[in-house]
Amino acid sequence: MSILGNALKKTSRTMEDLSRGPDIAPDYAFPVVAPVVLALAAGVFGTYLASETGIALVRELKRRQRLHEKRPDSPSLRGSPTPEEIEADGEIDPRTLAVRLRLGSRLADLEPTLDTSLRHKELRNGQKRIKSRAPGLKGWLNDRRITVNYSTLVRYKKLAQRLRQVLSLDERLPLEWLLPGAVPEVEIPLDLREAYATAKRRFARMLREHPNFSRLSRHVEDKLGVRQLLAVRRARRREKEERWVRRRLAKNARANAAAVAKRGKYSVKLAPDRVEATKQELIRFLQARDLPRPLVHLRNKVIHWMRTEACRG
């Protein structure tokens, strides 16, 4: 929004300068200069909005506008779940796969209705800066008596969302209606009945083949290609880190070479008798130390190496 605001400010400032009259342009030139300036400004601004950067800017502005607006109700036919229902699911112990999926489905239906808009603070110059974001689902869960930790609930919610993608489930149909023994609370519209029956059959077959949470999660991730995507991202991150290490090592090498060229090479050589005396002194120090039992074997190996291999060097 700041880019558009700055462009409009500059344009209005130019028009004010032109409107002041003879100080900027003669009176007879103003009717000609003003439309030309406006046309040039409109052309430049339109070209910018038509570019990739402009399109991305417009999308970002629309996204921020949606965040500022009030969150809509849940599109599900079931409606937004109540806190009591989610708390009741969280109290069930042990939590079976059906309970986990129902809890994840309800959290997924609840999340779009929560406020996640940006919070701004006013600066001295009148501009606004992003300060924080509304707590959203995490803040909502912190205000409830739910014994399940947040990371586990996020896993349930992600699996429910990914199952909807695999089953191509309409957003109006809640996932919990597909669970075994579940009965729709409201009448399903005619245009969704066939899709509901197909998704229910596919989901029942999927639960028979993958009866626990871990196996079902892996199956859904393989269907969506999540593992391949994460592997590609990890490879890119590893390559980026390796490039950074290579640049860092090359920079250190150049710095060391510059330091050696500046002060010259030097080396310290000890007399053989002094080296042998130092080794014997170190051996006596190691033998005199009262080390813990796990380090005794390591100490003996060091002493053996100093008495055999180090003497050859």
Write down the pLDDT at residue 159.
Answer: 92
Break the chain down into helix, strand, coil percent, rounded to 5. 70, 5, 25
Whether 118 and 67 have beta carbons less than 8 Å apart is answered as yes
Write down the pLDDT at residue 94.
Answer: 81
pTM for the predicted model, two decimal places: 0.55
Only one residue has tokens 């986990």, namely: 100
Q: Rounded CA gap, 220 and 159, in Å? A: 8
Q: Rounded CA gap, 145 and 177, in Å? A: 25
pLDDT, one tens digit for every residue, the chain (313 residues):
455 565 556 556 655 655 554 444 455 555 555 666 667 766 666 666 666 666 766 776 776 666 555 555 566 777 788 888 888 888 887 888 989 999 998 898 888 888 777 888 888 887 888 888 888 888 888 888 788 888 999 999 999 999 988 998 888 888 888 988 888 888 888 888 898 899 999 999 999 999 899 999 999 988 888 888 888 888 998 898 899 889 998 998 898 888 877 776 655 566 777 777 777 777 777 777 677 766 777 777 777 777 776 655 5
Write down the pLDDT at residue 198.
Answer: 92
Q: Rounded CA gap, 172 and 170, in Å? A: 5
